[in-house]
Amino acid sequence: MTDRLIVPGITDLPPSAPGMRIGLFGGSFNPPHEGHGLVSRESLKRLGLDAVWWLVTPGNPLKDHADLAPLEARVKAARALVDHPAIRVTGFEAAHGFTYTYQTLEYLTRALPDRRFVWIMGADSLSSFDRWERWEDIFTLVPIAVYVRPGSTRRAPFSKAALRFAQSRLDESDAPLLATAQPPAWVFLHGLMSTLSSTQLRNGSPKDQQP
């Protein structure tokens, strides 16, 4: 646990109702960009979700925080970018002092057991997922949707995590069933890709291209 930071309107959980199918899209969002929006909109459509929550992390334990913008600034920037009524942005992890994704998912599934949560991440994250805290337990908490990312299409499906849970992988045509599947269950989604990354944007990258 890290120190807790409570900022009204910034660290509150978005409203929800029993039975909702909610995608959880975590990240530093430093800065947020249209690639995040693309993955969220495609996930809403392909998985049949009612909402996607962007979980703006206080700081990824696997990344350098030297150039990390303040949480409130990142949440506000993400909200300014979002143009979809089903996508909500929150920094709620900071209010609980959560450092790891497992803590977040364990809390949400316990506090809101009548919601159907799905963890959404890019294929690049799946490639290094075995470095995450309690990564095997994450697979047993909620279903997982892995969205294709440039350069990760071939590598990610053969990563340690993918091979460990190979028997739990759903066919992509069954993606609409993921939210109600009993974990462990995951699906690899192909589709439109964005070349944008937050790191490139901080370093002054070229504009996005969508092949």
Domain membership of residue 163 (yes or no) is: yes
Number of domains in the chain: 1
Domain membership of residue 9 (yes or no) is: no
pLDDT in tens, the chain (211 residues): 668 999 999 999 999 999 999 999 999 999 999 999 999 999 999 999 999 999 999 976 655 556 799 999 999 999 999 989 999 999 999 999 999 999 999 999 999 999 999 999 999 999 999 999 999 999 999 999 999 988 787 889 999 999 999 999 999 999 999 999 999 999 999 998 877 565 554 456 544 333 2
For residue 104, give the CATH number of its domain. Answer: 3.40.50.620
Domain membership of residue 188 (yes or no) is: yes
Domain membership of residue 14 (yes or no) is: no
Q: Do residues 56 and 98 touch, judged by C-beta distance below 8 A?
A: no
Domain membership of residue 54 (yes or no) is: yes
Token pair, residue 49, equals 């979700």
Domain membership of residue 16 (yes or no) is: no
Domain membership of residue 104 (yes or no) is: yes
Domain membership of residue 103 (yes or no) is: yes
Q: Please name which of 61, 56, 2 lies closest in space to residue 24, comparing C-alpha atoms.
A: 56
| H-run or E-run covering 127 | helix 123-127
Token pair, residue 185, equals 């269950």
Residues of the domain holding 170? 21-193
Q: How far is the C-alpha of 22 from the C-alpha of 168, rounded, in Å? A: 20
